[in-house]
């Protein structure tokens, strides 16, 4: 049986999205009084998340990087959930958060599979994660979060 090679890097703009927090690390609510404030706050969440993901480095069969990515993605979803969208974008924003949460859970499942050295399941999880990431990006585009719809950016570490 031929094995699908585990992808070395899964760009996670999602995992995509982490951001405004207080100095003690707790998430703060970001009230967006206008569509412009919402876009700014949401994009800041994704920029901060991208910086954290970039510091993790390339992903491989080593579960450590996937664990760190899963933790970062959970934080990102929590922080994005603290951003308040305008009423006209609330339903699509909620959909984006559901996809982002599913992506975060999938990343955690990839980590678990790698811990068990179940490379076929990990590879399948990566394909599922890529599809979910596309849905996060599409949803981000629909609510105007321009930074959140692009692939992981190369930030200086």
Nearest to 16 by CA among 156, 157, 110, 139: 139
Q: Give Cα separations from 128 to 10, 44, 84, 133 (angstroms).
A: 11, 26, 28, 9
Q: Give Cα separations from 94 to 11, 17, 34, 73, 88 (angstroms).
A: 22, 14, 17, 16, 12
**Cα-Cα end-to-end distance for the chain:** 40
Q: Which two tokens mark 64?
A: 């450590």
* pTM, two decimal places: 0.78
Q: Would the pLDDT of 52 be above 50?
A: yes
> For the segment 87-108, what is each residue's pLDDT rounded down to a tens digit?
999 999 999 999 999 999 999 9
pLDDT (0 to 100) of residue 3: 40
Domain residue limits, the chain = 35-149
């Amino acid at each position: 049986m031929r094995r699908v090679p585990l992808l070395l890097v899964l760009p996670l703009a999602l995992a995509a999205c982490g951001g405004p927090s207080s100095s003690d690390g707790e998430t703060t609510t970001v009230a967006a009084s206008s569509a412009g404030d919402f876009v700014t706050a949401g994009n800041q969440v994704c920029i901060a998340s991208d910086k954290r993901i970039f510091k993790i480095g390339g992903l491989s069969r080593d579960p450590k990087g996937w664990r760190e990515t899963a933790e970062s993605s959970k934080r990102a979803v929590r922080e994005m959930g603290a951003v308040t969208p305008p009423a006209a974008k609330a339903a699509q924003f909620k959909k984006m958060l559901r996809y982002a949460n599913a992506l975060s859970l999938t990343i955690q499942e990839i980590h678990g599979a790698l811990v068990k050295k179940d490379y076929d399941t990990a590879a399948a999880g990566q394909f599922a994660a890529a599809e979910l990431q596309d849905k996060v990006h599409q949803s981000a585009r629909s609510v105007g979060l321009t930074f959140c719809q692009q692939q992981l950016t190369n930030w200086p570490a």
